[in-house]
Chains A and B, each alone.
Chain A
């Protein structure tokens, strides 16, 4: 997976988390997720289709999810509150939205699908075609994990190239 695809998502997550949590964030760990995705806690997934397709998962362990959601809601939420899941969805949505805004300015076109809850403990293994990158953002409220698996839609890209001739 090319860094030019990943960087907008890292920048967007950094901006969204810094603003939302009102504190600095740091990219703590970045690694290829070769063994397949393993959910850490409350996870929201946003799928993309278009010139680039794939999915982004924002994943927080349960305690961090409660802290983050409570901070953003402005009041302490119980661990069972559905608003916690909604908050993680919205975080994922904002990260993806901001990232694809930057990618769109580079000429890529997408459709963003509404966030979904990830319930499976593990995901499919990655392949040569679709690699996944796991990025950990260290925040004052705990670690926020983002798993990015994207690939160029070769047919769409070749259509654009043909049209651009």
Chain B
């Protein structure tokens, strides 16, 4: 997989920590590989919305990558509950169901962005940088000490 310039947390220079939520093990592994290529770290994984909420409380990740169609609790509802409890939470919806109605519902209920599957690494990378804003910094040879 293509390697990207690492995106770090600007406050402490540490890797950005992610919670990956998807009922597909394959999709979680695929996203984990992309995150590693961005210099990030997987804080936790969850296979449904309910587990996502408890894993968010446990790990307090910098970014949540959240699928929509999942058993028990769907992603949009889980995103809403996380954002209600933690208004600063950054939730990015990652789903193959990318019609306008779904995207609008997700954004209205607290998601920061939407990425359609199949996920292109270069698209997710740009979304991550955008969602982090000033809280993220792209490591260069100068600031990594290389």
Q: Are B23 and A114 in contact (CB under 8 A)?
A: yes
Asked if A93 and B100 make an inter-chain contact with CB atoms under 8 angstroms apart, the answer reads no
Give chain A's interface residue range (CB within 8 Å of chain B): 20 to 34
A interface residues (Cβ-Cβ under 8 A, vs B): 16, 19-20, 69, 72-74, 82-83, 86-87, 89-90, 93-98, 100-101, 104-105, 109, 112-115
Q: Are A98 and B24 in contact (CB under 8 A)?
A: no
Most chain A CB within a 10 A radius of its CB, from B25, B26, B102: B26
In the complex, the chain A residue whose C-beta lies closest to that of B67 is A93
A106 CA to B114 CA, complexed, in Å:
21
What would 6 A/B residue contacts be, using CB atoms closer than 8 Å? A16-B118, A89-B24, A93-B24, A97-B116, A98-B117, A105-B99
Query: For chain B, what secondary structure do more than half of its interface residues adopt (helix, strand, loop), or is it mixed?
Result: loop
**Beyond A74-B1, A90-B24, A93-B24, is A101–B98 a contact (Cβ under 8 Å)?**
yes
Question: In the complex, A69→B25 CA distance in Å?
Answer: 12
B5 an interface residue at 8 Å Cβ cutoff? Answer: no
Q: Which residues of B have CB within 8 Å of A86? A: 24-26
B69 at the interface (CB under 8 A from A): yes
C-alpha gap A104/B103 in the complex (Å): 12
Q: Which of B27-35, B49-57, B82-90, B125-133 is near enough to bind chain A? A: B27-35
B26 touches A105 (CB 8 A): no
Q: Is the interface of A mostly helix, strand, loop or mixed?
A: helix
- Option from A73, A83, A97, A113 in Cβ contact (under 8 Å) with B96: A97
Q: How far is the CA of A38 from the CA of B126 in the complex (A)?
A: 43
Q: How far is the CA of A97 from the CA of B33 in the complex (A)?
A: 22
Task: State whether A74 and B33 are in contact (beta carbons under 8 Å apart), knowing that A86-B26, A93-B69 are contacts in the complex.
Answer: yes
Shortest distance between the CB of B141 and any CB in chain A (Å): 27
A98 — nearest CB in chain B belongs to which residue? B96
A90 to B29, CA, bound (A): 12
Q: In the complex, A100 Cα to B98 Cα: how many Å?
A: 8
Residues in B neighbouring A73, C-beta threshold 8 A: 26, 29-30
- Tell me, rounded to whole Å, the shortest Cβ–Cβ distance linking B17 to chain A: 23
B40-97 with Cβ < 8 A to chain A = 69-71, 95-97
Cβ–Cβ contact A101 & B30, under 8 A: no
Nearest CB to that of A102 among chain B residues?
A: B99
Which 4 pairs across A and B sit closest by C-beta, in order of nearness? A97-B96, A104-B99, A86-B26, A101-B99
B134 contacts the other chain (Cβ, under 8 Å)? Answer: no
